[in-house]
Structure 1
Amino acid sequence: MAHDTQGARDKGYLLNNRQAEAGERFAALSALFDPSTFRHFETVGVGRGWRCWEIGAGGPGVPGWLAERVGGSGHVVATDIDTSWMRDAVGFEVLRHDVASGQPPAGGPFDLIHARLVLIHVADRDKALRSMVEALRPGGWLVLEDGDPALQPLICPDEYGPEQALANRLRSGFRELLGERGADLEYGRKLPRLLREAGLVDVEADAYFPITSPVCTVLEEATVRQIRDKLVAAGLATDEEIDRHLANVAGGLDLALPPMISAWGRRPATA
C-alpha cells in the first residue's frame, strides 16, 4: 500500500503519518485500491521467485500480498520514509528509504517495482523514476499508480445542494495546499508517456475511482481532521465550516475520489 509519504517540500508533508488519523487513512486507501493494485500485479504475472520492491509502502497490505505470491524463493523489500506502520511485518524486508534520493535499496535487480500515491508528491520525480527503471532486471515490470486530482476535481460530482458545494470548496482548498507543497495534481495522466520516455515497452494504463462508498466517508473524515488546522491557517475554511462539513459527511454524502491511474511497462529484455 504505497502512500504519499515521499519528498515533500520545506513546508512539510501535508498528511503527517505520525498523526492518529494516518492509520484510518491507510486502512481506507487499502480497502479502496488494493483490489485494483492486485489485479495489475496479476496482469504482469507476479509469481514464485520474483524479487519485488514496494515503494512508500506505508502499511503491510501490499508487500504482504506480494510476499505470499513470490514465496520462499522470492524476496520483497518494502521501503518508506516512515516505517512505523510496518512494525509487525511478516514475510518481507522493511527498510527506511527515500526514493527521492535516486539510489535504490539493496536487493535488486527487481522483477517488479511498484509505487502507489508516491511520485505525485516527490519533488524530483524524474530522478526517482530513473532510479526505479535502472533497478529493474531486463524484462522486469514497473507498476506506477497515482491520482490525478485535476482530471476529476470534485469530491461531490453531483453538486445538487449546499452540502455538496461546501464539500467541493473544502476539497479545492485541499488541492491548493497540496500544490503549495509541490504535488503535481496532473501527474496521473502523464504516467504512460513517462514510462515510454523512460525506455519501457508494452506500456498500458487504466483508471479507477469510486463514486461513492462508505470507505470514502471514512477517508474524508480522517483527511479533514488531519488538515483542518492548515485549512484554517491558510484562510481556506473556517472551523465552523469544517465542523458543518464533518456533520454533513456523517449524515450521508456521496463522496468520490480522483481517478487512480495505473500504468505499467516492462524493461526490454535486451538493452
Structure 2
Amino acid sequence: MADDGGYLLDNQQAEAGVRFDALATLFNPSTFRHIDALGIAEGWRCWEVGAGGASVPSWLAARVGPTGHVLATDIDVSWLTADAEYEVRCHDVGVDPPPGDGFDLVHARLLLVHVPRRAAALAAMASALRPGGWLLVEEADPMMQPLVCPDESGPAQRLANKLKRDLRTLMAQRGVDLAYGRRLPPLLRDAGLTEVEADAFFPITGPACALLEQATVRQIRDRLVSAGLATDEEIDQHLDNIAAGLLDLATSPMISAWGRRPA
C-alpha cells in the first residue's frame, strides 16, 4: 500500500470498530470519572469532538437527559448512529468554525495529536465553551512511556517494542506530536482557561490491551512493510505471540487535562 499521507488509523478500515471497542473498555471508565467530577448534570450542553464511536456520546446523552443536548462530531461519522439520542454532524475541528451556541462541556480523546492544525482546533474548542464551561482533553503521550512491553524480558517482548518504535516513526512522519499529552496543562492555560488540572492513566495488561494492539498492527501493517520498517514475517510473528498469550501489552499513558472558562 502506498503511503498516501493520510491518517494512519482512519475510521474507514475494518479494524476501526475493534479499536473503538478496545479503547472504550480501556479508557471510558477514566473519561467518565473525570466528567462526573466536573459536575455533569441534566440540562448540560455537550460537544464530543472527534467522537469516532458511539460509546461516549451515548453516555453523555444519558447523563444530560431530555433537557440537555449532545453534539457528536467527526470528519467521518460512519460509526455514529444517525437516529441516536445525540446529534451527529460531520465537522473538521481544525478547519470549521465551532458549532452551537456555547457548551457546558467540550471533550476530545485521542484527537488533537492527529489534527494538522491542532492549535486552531484547541482554540476552537475553548472558544465554544459558555462562561463556566469545562474543556476536557485526553491525549496519549507515547514518548513518556514508549514501550508496549515495559518488561522487555525476551525475544517476543523485544519484537513487540521494535514494532512499536516503527509505529512511532510512521506517526512522526505524519506530523503527530508524540509528546503532546504532557503539554496539555500549559496549552489550556494559554487558551484562557482556569482551574487547570491533569492526571494520567496507564493500563499495563489485559484482554482489551491485546485487542487494541492486534487491531492497530493489522491496520498499519501494509504501511509498515511498504516503508521498509518491518517485514510481514515480523508482523505475523508478533500477532502469533499475542494470540498465544505470551505478552503483557501496555498502552501509552493517557493524559487527561481539564480547565474552565472563567464565568
TM-score by length of 2: 0.97
Quick one: which amino acid aligns to residue 153 of structure 1?
Answer: P
Q: What do residues 79-130 of structure 1 show as CA deviations (whole Å, max 9, x unaligned)?
A: 000000013552100000000115112x220000000000011111111111
Q: CA RMSD in A?
A: 1.2
Instruction: Note if 1:176 corresponds to 2:165.
Output: no
2:109 to 100, 110, 116: 116
Question: d(CA) in 1 for partners of 2:137 and 2:25?
Answer: 18
Unmatched runs of 5 consecutive residues or more in structure 2:
none
SS at match of 1:40: helix
2:18 to 24, 45, 53: 24
Quick one: which amino acid aligns to residue 100 of structure 1?
Answer: G
Q: Is the 8 A contact 1:108 1:135 kept in 2?
A: yes
User: What is the aligned partner in structure 2 of residue 94 from structure 1?
Assistant: 88
Q: Is the 8 A contact 2:141 2:182 kept in 1?
A: yes
Instruction: Note if 1:232 corresponds to 2:230.
Output: no
Instruction: Note if 1:39 corresponds to 2:33.
Output: yes
Q: Is the 8 A contact 1:60 1:89 kept in 2?
A: no
Question: d(CA) in 2 for partners of 1:267 and 1:146?
Answer: 20
User: What is the aligned partner in structure 2 of residue 82 from structure 1?
Assistant: 76
Quick one: which amino acid aligns to residue 42 of structure 1?
Answer: D
Instruction: Note if 1:166 corresponds to 2:159.
Output: yes
SS at match of 1:58: coil
SS at match of 1:178: helix
Question: d(CA) in 2 for partners of 1:54 and 1:10?
Answer: 28
SS at match of 2:94: helix
Question: d(CA) in 1 for partners of 2:86 and 2:234?
Answer: 44
SS at match of 1:169: helix
SS at match of 2:35: helix
2:7 to 3, 13, 19: 13
User: What is the aligned partner in structure 2 of residue 6 from structure 1?
Assistant: none
1:215 to 200, 208, 216: 208
Question: d(CA) in 2 for partners of 1:53 and 1:171?
Answer: 32
Question: d(CA) in 2 for partners of 1:89 and 1:21?
Answer: 24
Unmatched runs of 5 consecutive residues or more in structure 1:
1-8
Question: d(CA) in 2 for partners of 1:41 and 1:89?
Answer: 24
Instruction: Note if 1:262 corresponds to 2:256.
Output: yes
Instruction: Note if 1:62 corresponds to 2:65.
Output: no
Question: d(CA) in 1 for partners of 2:83 and 2:256?
Answer: 26
How far did residue 195 of structure 1 move?
0.5
Question: d(CA) in 2 for partners of 1:111 and 1:91?
Answer: 18
Question: d(CA) in 1 for partners of 2:14 and 2:42?
Answer: 36
Distance 1:108 1:10, change over 3 A: farther
What is the percentage of aligned positions where both structures have the same residue? Answer: 65
How far did residue 10 of structure 1 move?
6.4
How far did residue 35 of structure 1 move?
0.3
Q: Is the 8 A contact 2:42 2:68 kept in 1?
A: yes
Quick one: which amino acid aligns to residue 124 of structure 1?
Answer: R
1:143 to 122, 130, 136: 136
Deviant stretches of 4+, over 6 Å = none
Question: d(CA) in 1 for partners of 2:259 and 2:42?
Answer: 20
